[in-house]
Amino acid sequence: MTKEFKSADSTDRLSMLLGFQRVSDNTLDKTKVIEKGKGIYVYDSDGKEYIEATASFYVASLGYQNEELIDAIEEQYRKLPFFVSAMHRAPAKSIELADKLQELVPNKDAHIMFASTGSEANDFLMKMMRFDAVAKGTPDRKTIIGRHSSYHGGTIATASLTGAHHEEFGLPIEGFRHVSQPDYHGSRLPGETEIEYCDRLVSEFEILIEAEPEGTIAAFFAEPLSFSAGFKIPPRGYFEKIQKLLLSHEIQFVCDEVITGFGRTGSVLGSDAMDLEPDHVVMGKALTSGYFPLSAVSLGSSLYEGLEMGSEQYGVLAHAGTFSAHPVGAAAALKTLEIIERDKLVDHAKKMGCRLKEGLMPLTEHPLIGDVRTFGLGVGLDFLLRDENDLVLNNDSDERSVEMYEKLLAIGMIARPAGRSLVIAPPLIVKPEEIDDIVSRVSTVLDSMA
Ligand SMILES: Cc1ncc(COP(=O)(O)O)c(C=O)c1O
């Protein structure tokens, strides 16, 4: 029997623990219980409709109740609902998906390693880097660089790579360093040009590298544009300069495309959109449109060679995940990718992104908004204001972003407060009139806050 979730005044603790909120808010009255979804909409237990304007944490790119995707998943369940990938055995579907991803990723000659979540994928990759370093006789090359305020996952290692929430968890563990997140609007010095700001970031990176013992840094992980840090788009020239720096120090470059992958940026991958040449790419979330947990890493050729070398030395590569490369996940991903290609959803996302931009760009003039950033099918409304001398004017931007999130929720729209910015990134299948509805709700709520 399905449990009824109607008693909105209940203050009992839920049996399930929810994250990214106060633990004491873990009660029914403070929880929207979502029961179903269709297209870009989800419905709570009171029947209230919400536009899921973040595709539910940037995942449900094909929206809800995509029958074709459900059929493909059901077909795989009937054929082979599970089989492990290890010890000379693997499901046909999973190999088919690896072939497909190999074609899509920018690092040619890559090999695909599967996992179940974005966290696991990042974690597995760092582990493979260590194996590679040991195999190549440089076991000390294991320090990883991330960026402040980025998010890369919930495991001990990925939470250490993440650039926030360390203190409360007693993190980071040994071997992680962080550089600044590109944030021209929030972190520039008064009057500093974008080029000057970019050069300052590059020189900070150089100083960090110089301070580490020679040959100990393995990799730098970054999202092509950071949704997790609040929709931060790097300044022009940033990645070009950083990539040069990394190359000169033999530091591997990893694009965490867990959010930016599969159409979100108006290109198949964010690294294409930004013209990046990563050594490895990490994918998850929208890979299956969220219909099954599956993630993947495209391992660059040098790392793959290291794995072969190491396994000759140690006998095997003693690594696997029982549910990694799950055949149902593979079927979901293959169908998702097929639909994205067939229905030209990357182009569609770009067009819908332009419409969203046209609708929200005028908000740069709004007294509460300091910056409107747009890219692909995504927008960040930034509440940090600067005065005529380019000095930061307010210290309530985080609260403003949360306030707007709550007000939008009340009128049936789910956006994402990320620090001082509110992020909007609806499913790729969003229709023009739905974009107009999002724009109108955002403008109405903002005006009510002024
Ligand atoms: C950029 C990025 N990387 C990795 C992850 C971790 O993915 P997961 O939550 O599937 O473990 C996230 C999750 O939000 C993310 O935003």
Q: Cβ(127)–Cβ(219) under 8 Å? A: no
Q: Report whether 190 contacts 156 (CB < 8 A).
A: no
The pairing of beta strand 295-299 with beta strand 34-38: unpaired
**Given ligand 1 and candidates 126, 285, 323, 423, which is best to mutate, with the most ligand atoms within 8 Å of its CB?**
285
Each residue's pLDDT tens digit, 235-285: 999 999 999 999 999 999 999 999 999 999 999 999 999 999 999 999 999
pLDDT exceeds cutoff 70 at 421: yes
What is the C-alpha separation between 413 and 20, in angstroms, rounded? 19
Which parts of 213-326 fold into alpha helices (H)?
238-248, 270-273, 301-314
- CA 418, distance to chain mean position in Å, is 12
Q: Which residue has the tokens 């100990």?
A: 216
pLDDT per residue as tens digits for the range 362-415: 999 999 999 999 999 999 999 999 999 999 999 999 999 999 999 999 999 999
Distance (angstroms) between ligand 1 centre and the Cα of 115 equals 12
155 and 228 in contact (C-beta within 8 Å)?
A: no
Please say if the pLDDT value at position 6 is more than 60.
no
Q: What pLDDT sits at residue 316?
A: 96
- Contact indicator for 195, 237 with CB cutoff of 8 Å: yes
Residue 261: what pLDDT?
Answer: 98
Distance CA 61, CA 56 (A): 9
Pairing of strands 252-256, 217-222: parallel
Q: Which residues pair with 253 in a beta bridge?
A: 220
Ligand 1 centroid from CA 157, angstroms:
13
Pocket test for ligand 1, best of 228, 232, 287 (most atoms within 8 A of CB): 228
pLDDT in tens, 88-137: 999 999 999 999 999 999 988 999 999 999 999 999 999 999 999 999 99
171-221 pLDDT, tens per residue?
999 999 999 999 999 999 999 999 999 999 999 999 999 999 999 999 999
Please give the number of the atom of ligand 1 that sits closest to the Cα of 285: 10
Q: Which two tokens stand for residue 337?
A: 């990718």
Q: For residue 234, give the DSSP letter.
A: P
User: What does the alpha-carbon distance between residue 64 and residue 51 come to, in Å, rounded to a whole number?
Assistant: 11
CB of 162 shorter than 6 A to ligand 1: no
Regarding the beta carbon of 284 and ligand 1, being less than 6 Å apart is answered yes
pLDDT score at 376:
98
Which residues lie closer than 8 Å to 241 by C-beta, 6 or more apart? 198, 199, 202
Ligand 1 proximity of 59 Cβ (cutoff 6 Å)? no
> Does the CB atom of residue 224 touch ligand 1 within 6 A?
no
Domains, the chain, with CATH or none = 32-65+344-449 (3.90.1150.10), 70-342 (3.40.640.10)
